[in-house]
Structure 1
């Protein structure tokens, strides 16, 4: 079980979110638990999530066992979402569903319905049915999403508490749902090598009030990019000098998703306007027989795939000023008293020289008149 804090208010309990993983949870920690009853068409037989082999136009009921772990009634709220990739290079089942990737043709939530609210009496266990309807056109590759289950009363209390600036935890279970028509990927090696990763926009930005360069990476295919490593180098367009460099390892991208890879400035370093070039190399799918290798200080790793991109981008003066002001780590220019003193001294010398010159001239004019 992987637990992460969401927006400082929500604690998320995740079940089986990595492809091929098998995870369990300690139900007594939470007010309720949800256990999937794996059907006959389940591929990963011992997993804690659904991994279904389906056919075009097929319908199916999925069974979920809800259990109330408390001595009072609990209402379990459920919904279904499509997997995305977050800014940390992780598959996210609670990502913004309004900003799904344009290459996504079938959303998980459009294929699965589940009762929104189910009330359980104290210590009650109840079987709940979710319904799956695969489009007649079928699926290409993997459809990835998840059920999310929340304690409705705790959720409402947390929303009320957040309005009053208090902190309240909400516990939520997620159970991944993968669906496909064939076990092996339908994409050829050349397809993945040619189209399996795309670089789109590159621009200055911020993450958590820190200056970064954001490189938008897209996985346009209906497959996971596992063991994802990126090596980013940024240089001035007219120079070979490296301005920024960053390596990210052990990332993962969801099918048909995109995210902004954030290449961070060092603490205290200011963003400067100008034209730059991003040189980005990405590796995917660790493979001892792979044709590409990445070496860091610790070891050499072989990968099945490698992608390389170069893209020119510009940081404007107004962008640099705006982001440097907002980044609390940037060393702000201190007021230079020595420079001010030098300017004042120069002014005083000039004024003193002018007064002496004026007096000498007046004395000479007076002597001539006499």
Structure 2
């Protein structure tokens, strides 16, 4: 082979190498992403779930929830693989749910809670139907979830959820004696919640914190004040710290505090923040003041200094606890001892008056008898 042909061959080979580098590999990546064996698995006893990430799933999202970019009026069908790990047939129910805030976490709970008044586009209004999934042992089924976005556009983040639940009865043999066995039955109830995050735009929306109501109540048998907090914006709070103090205005030493940190707060939701008394403390009637300091770190957002200031709140509110409310709450505290001081004082006064009356009565009767005897001798 001549040197010119060799040089030409090298040139062609080099060009082929360059072309190979620019060949799209999206098809190969898609094949991997749609292979259910490659998915992160969500599991509870008796069943597991694998999410099929759609094309509008946010990049870099760990595949244990949906993070979708949507449009007003858009229709879409999501897919899940549900696999049975039980040794007997089971029925799994799936229901759409609105995200709520509970115990400092964002939950897609199966508990039916009405949406907060600020939630004008609840996830449960997207037309998702309840589903019943019947699985034989080790069976795998594909579940399709169809929804339609409202025509009204929104900025920020909407969070909903898919709640899956199963109940299975299992048995266990417990020996009564060597020759007898008792069969015990257990009803096992297991559930899983899959969050669904939706955004339509990249416009920054900041969360907000409002105090809606302050209600005295019993909390785990202790006197407490429940402060209903609301986040009316379509942005969740991350790294939320709360520092609350309740003070009785007539006695500044009658103070009760509660601090928490690293809470999460779902968008357009509310929860009740409890400020309990100590077990040995009595709730007094009167006027009180709530002082609440709060701060959300918002590590999921890139905020400047001015925006960070807007994620801090200082709230003061005055409220009243009536005697009827305080007495009812105090009676529920097993360590609370009713103060009978005034009752003892009243009883003591009555006893003294009774003794004085008896002395007077005896003295009066004795005097009359004496006077009668004197008259008779005359």
Give TM-score, length-normalised by structure 2.
0.73
Among 28, 32, 48, the residue aligned to 2:64:
48
How far, CA to CA, are the matches of 1:115 and 1:344 in structure 2? Answer: 70
Cα offsets for 1:49-101 (capped at 9, x unmatched): 10111112212221101111134333221111001123x33323226545210
Partners of 1:269 and 1:331 within 8 A in 2: no
Report the equivalent of 1:312.
Answer: 318
Q: Kindly tell me the number of residue pairs found equivalent between the two proteins.
A: 320
Among 108, 122, 134, the residue aligned to 1:107:
122
Deviation of 1:175 after TM superposition, in Å, equals 0.9
Is 1:125 matched up with 2:144? Answer: no
Is 1:139 matched up with 2:136? Answer: no
Among 249, 256, 260, the residue aligned to 1:237:
249
Partners of 1:80 and 1:112 within 8 A in 2: no
Residues 245 and 115 (structure 1), Cα distance of their counterparts in 2 relative to 1, 3 Å cut:
closer
Partners of 1:197 and 1:217 within 8 A in 2: yes
Residues 142 and 350 (structure 1), Cα distance of their counterparts in 2 relative to 1, 3 Å cut:
same
Deviation of 1:289 after TM superposition, in Å, equals 8.7
Among 226, 237, 259, the residue aligned to 1:214:
226
Residues 24 and 241 (structure 1), Cα distance of their counterparts in 2 relative to 1, 3 Å cut:
farther
Deviation of 1:306 after TM superposition, in Å, equals 1.2
Rg (Cα) greater in structure: 2
Report the equivalent of 1:72.
Answer: 88
Is 1:60 matched up with 2:76? Answer: yes
For residue 168 of structure 1, give the secondary structure of its aligned residue in structure 2.
strand
Report the equivalent of 1:350.
Answer: 356
Deviation of 1:106 after TM superposition, in Å, equals 0.9
How far, CA to CA, are the matches of 1:120 and 1:145 in structure 2? Answer: 25
For residue 169 of structure 1, give the secondary structure of its aligned residue in structure 2.
strand
How far, CA to CA, are the matches of 2:104 and 2:341 in structure 1? Answer: 41
For residue 155 of structure 2, give the secondary structure of its aligned residue in structure 1.
coil
Residues 164-313 of structure 1 aligned to structure 2 (within 5 Å): 168-183=187-202, 186-187=204-205, 192=207, 196-285=208-297, 305-313=311-319
For residue 99 of structure 1, give the secondary structure of its aligned residue in structure 2.
coil
Report the equivalent of 2:50.
Answer: 35
Unaligned runs of 5+ in 2: 1-38, 171-184
Give TM-score, length-normalised by structure 1.
0.75
How far, CA to CA, are the matches of 1:343 and 1:361 in structure 2? Answer: 27
Partners of 1:77 and 1:152 within 8 A in 2: no
Deviation of 1:345 after TM superposition, in Å, equals 5.9
Partners of 1:284 and 1:303 within 8 A in 2: no
